[in-house]
A = this chain, B = another copy of it.
């Protein structure tokens, strides 16, 4: 489906991109709460015991901007002397550069330390899902969610083209329980100069699986989850949502196209439409489960943007909700954080049943 993009530059030099199904005509300029450029210069240090990079952006603590509690930087600007991050106008989804990025294409000259260092090259973008501060990803119309899937594709393609960017991760942290104080519906995109540790291991395992079985492990698992039919949350023609047999969080759910698609970029229209239905179904069930906003971390794994062909990659979202019951959080403690071996006190089958028993109705039938 058609997508229109309007690119603007904020007074402090950051990029703003607006997206809509229709030509964007009523936008004048890109506001910013910050008048001057920041010249972000984050760096990475090598962790010699874990064999991974850590990124440091010390200026982030120096945020002098202390807005009043009712100020919402993701709302559209109402008066020019109180600028937010976004202009009024006929746009549906917006993406702009994070003012305090952990990764920056401007990064240069890392400090010398006793371990290897390098510039934290990359990008941190904020994705505003809608102009409505009271909405939520799961409350948006299916067509709007489809537009967001196209925006993620466009960002993956554009960011991935940069020779220094190896991996693009769209995610949403939702709810005060996961540290989010800004309730305007939004997510983030991190574009990394390396394939990060978790997707790196997943890609390695997927590649071995692919060379052995001719397809990736997720496509095979989805086939088995569909046949087993115990933990499914949504079953469409092209997309599926389920509590995985190996869930690490009590209400963990994965959303994926049924056939392996390496990234958002390669989704066809039908797959994208069904993926939007799967995603919205999960979000509506989460919200209806306890009749209150349901916090989660949602992360979208896809193929690295290293210009290799990745038939082993399989685009999918993983949801990690922090609650194990309506009033009990699952804390990551010794065995999870130190050993990396997750301990669950509930069975995925039982949590899937809870979500299956929540009835929700999409605004159009799954197979129209």
Contact = CB atoms under 8 A, between A and B. Distances in A.
Interface string A29-60: 00000000000000001111111111111101
Given A50-B201, A114-B245, 6 more contacts: A49-B218, A100-B345, A114-B221, A114-B228, A173-B334, A297-B333
A83 to B, nearest CB: 24
24 contacts: A47-B244, A48-B217, A48-B221, A48-B246, A50-B198, A54-B341, A54-B344, A56-B347, A57-B343, A58-B347, A61-B345, A114-B225, A114-B228, A173-B333, A179-B331, A190-B334, A190-B339, A192-B339, A196-B341, A197-B340, A198-B338, A198-B340, A199-B340, A297-B334
B49 A205 contact: yes
Nearest to A45: B246
B343 A47 contact: no
A205 B50 CA distance: 7
A318 interface: yes
Interface residues of A: mostly helix, strand, loop or mixed?
A: mixed
Contacts of A173: 331, 333-334
Interface string A207-235: 00100000001101100110110000000
Contacts of A247: 54
Given A45-B246, A57-B344, A198-B340, A334 B188 contact: yes
A337 interface: yes
A42 to B, nearest CB: 8
A121 interface: no
Contacts of A194: 341
Top 4 nearest A-B pairs by Cβ distance?
A: A179-B331, A299-B338, A60-B345, A197-B340
A345 B345 CA distance: 34
B299 A334 contact: yes
A248 interface: yes
A115 B334 contact: no
A335 interface: yes
Interface string A50-75: 11111111101100000000000000
A246 B60 contact: no
Interface of A: 45-58, 60-61, 100, 102, 113-115, 167, 169, 171-173, 178-179, 188, 190, 192, 194, 196-202, 205-206, 209, 217-218, 220-221, 224-225, 227-228, 244-248, 297, 299, 301, 318, 320, 329, 331-335, 337-347, 350
Nearest to A101: B343
B299 A178 contact: no
A238 B333 CA distance: 29
Contact of A346 (B58, B115, B201, B346): B58
Contacts of A248: 47, 54
A62 to B, nearest CB: 9
Given A114-B221, A246-B46, A179 B345 contact: no
B197 A339 contact: yes
B339 A318 contact: no
Contact of A221 (B49, B220, B318): B49
A60 B346 CA distance: 8
A334 B126 CA distance: 13
Contacts of A49: 202, 205-206, 217-218, 221
